[in-house]
Structure 1
Amino acid sequence: MRELLVAGLDPSALDIVDESHKHAGHAGARDGRGHFRLRIVAAAFAGLPQVRRHQRVYETLGTMMQTDIHALALETRTPDET
C-alpha cells in the first residue's frame, strides 16, 4: 500500500494504521481483507474537493481495494492544510 501511494501521489506525509485487529469476527475480517486508517498529505490534492481526493487514493490503490482492503478511513490534506 505504501509503495503504491508514494509512487502515485508523492506524499509529503503518510501514516498507515492497520486497525484490522479491532474488527476480529467482522465479516470483512473473515475474508482476509484489512481495515486501515490512512492520513496522507500531498500536493496532488490541491484544488480537489474531499470526494475527489478520496477517489484519487482509491484509483492509486487500484485492485488492492478489491483484494486486500475491506475498509479504509481517509484523512486527505494538502501541505497548505497541515
Structure 2
Amino acid sequence: MTKHDIQQLIEAGLPGATVRVISDDGQHFEAEVIYSGFAGKLPLAQHRMVYATLGDRMGREIHALQLKTRAS
C-alpha cells in the first residue's frame, strides 16, 4: 500500500475532501484530511469516518496511520 493508494481510498470515500498523505518508510503514514462533512463532528467521529474509507486495510496493509482532520 502506497501513500497514493491511501489518498485515493480516502478521496473516494469522502468525495470532495482534500487529502495529503506522507510516509517516510512506506509503513507508517500521516494523513491530513479536510472535509466539509466533518462539520459539527468531534475529532473521534471524524477519524472514524476516515478509517471507514480504508476498511480492513487498517492493521493489515496499513501498519500505522496518524490523522489530522478538520472541516473545510
Whether the TM-score (by the shorter chain) exceeds 0.5 is yes
Which residue of structure 1 lines up, in the alignment, with residue 67 of structure 2? 74
User: 2: CA distance between counterparts of 1:57 and 1:70?
Assistant: 15
Q: Distance in 2 between matches of 1:19 and 1:71?
A: 12
**Structure 1 runs of 4+ with >4 Å offset:** none
Partner of 2:29: 36
Specify which structure has the higher proportion of helix.
Answer: 1
1:51 is displaced (CA, Å) by 0.6
1:17 partnered with 2:10: no
SS in 2 for 1:20: coil
Taking structure 1 as the reference length, what is the TM-score of the superposition? 0.72
Percent identity at matched positions? 35
Match of 2:8 in 1: 3
Choose from 55, 58, 64 the match for 1:65: 58
| Unaligned 5+ runs, structure 1 | 22-33
Give the unaligned 5+ runs of structure 2: 1-5
Preserved contact between residue 43 and residue 78 of structure 1 (Cα < 8 Å): yes
- How many residues are aligned here? 66
SS of the aligned residue for 2:29 comes to strand
TM normalised by structure 2 equals: 0.81
Q: Give how far 1:20 is off.
A: 2.2
- What residue is the counterpart of 2:3 in the other structure? none
Q: Please give the root-mean-square deviation of Cα atoms over the aligned residues, in Å.
A: 1.3
